[in-house]
Structure 1
């Protein structure tokens, strides 16, 4: 019966098809604008919802969960990353947390390769030159970049996305190296022709391109700190499509300005939209507005996973994408 439908509050605008399907299945409160909710508005939404559908822009910590009351039973996150949600505190309060894993793998890996090419081949500099109207034609020594074939790619975090990046890199003729909490199974390692490094320090010192593909957790915060960044070759490039907090952004900026690292391609930032202004000024840096998962297909698939998680929960079953504190 309609009166028994779950009350669902969505914190941001979602693709129209996803919102329409939610309205058909549940009692849904959608947002008129796409601006992020304030902390107070988020707290109020949690108190009047059976299910909250947040995104990475909604920070749900223990303090906010303590104000949620007893009605909230499920946080169905629209996205794979859940570092913005205190999963342990949620479970202690009897609130389940789900996410949408696997959906953004190929899209994010595509963006990682796009950034590698953009930095090494100086694509943004070329675009700026053409838009300025100052291009005088082809010249033998103009806009020289570097060939990526034969270069060593270091993948930091060899999960779904890291492996997808490795597959693409192999197709471009790169040599794949990786560091991960656990070593891959032999057959996966062999299929990727990947070299495992137990020591991140040793890998960082040897690769030509470093791709950050690990989640943000307490153990990965500033994993690439000033000391570790200094181990990298001056000719090396670093690319991050994962979480900004993994890199010490101020240390990276200083090293890029000093020429201690050749370039960087960033899609995520340590402090969200508050980006170091000195980083914006550097010609050897490519900055994108968190576009890694921004494909129509990916956003639709994320919505489908959210719908399935909520409907399965409503039917009294364990949601397929349940996040446990041990997974964080």
Structure 2
């Protein structure tokens, strides 16, 4: 059962001290949504217009609800999201929070207990902030120009620090992959955490490696993990394959590395008259010096021989480009 009611901001401040916790200057007559006791919800929209209609409450003041207080633990089956980068209702939870994902932009969030999200904790843009007083666990923690403070233990597969991620105690951080610098609560860089390399972003699904806010929020609300699916690439995925994609599948399954932002590898060029160019190419953003755990340096000539062997074995005709010995011409 949801024990929910609209409370005048002055009453919410007297009970929970919200004016001292959030930026509410110049607001006197607005109201706040208050849940009393432990609360379970399917989802929680932290945008002003959506929160008003979602709550089902009748307001006595025309202004939108300024925030949400949960005086207990909060369990959300799906997501807590805030899309507006400039503004958003605050969220104060006086207990623990469990959700599939939590993503905010302009909202200010304070969780006084622990936070456990099955998938993603994300913060976008610098008008909001997220503070977790207890322990935090997530698959992915992503900050992008959004101040995020972790006062307790932090456990995650991947953390994208975005220069605004702060932790109270580095000894209580267990993260398998870092992108970006990490700071203490004063804002000083912690040399023992973080990474100057962006290579850890390879753990993300390729759809999300650009860290674009709107696609990420859509994926979060769809219940989609941001991590790359485990296992080898599929040679015969659902749907028809283009000839270039079929060539890529053969090279991947033969163990050849595909060129991307971080690693040297093969490229399959656009086809012309059913002939495709296959060549070796250097990374767009190589680590200099190489990051710990980076793949071994490849020999371009040896890689071309591997490409030719794999494609010939798969029934393709392969020849060197007469105008460029470092390019293979591939056709059925």
TM range (shorter): under 0.3
Structure ID, larger Rg: 2
Which structure has more strand as a fraction of its residues? 2
TM-score norm. by structure 2 comes to: 0.27
* Relative contact order, higher structure (CA 8 A, sep 6+): 1
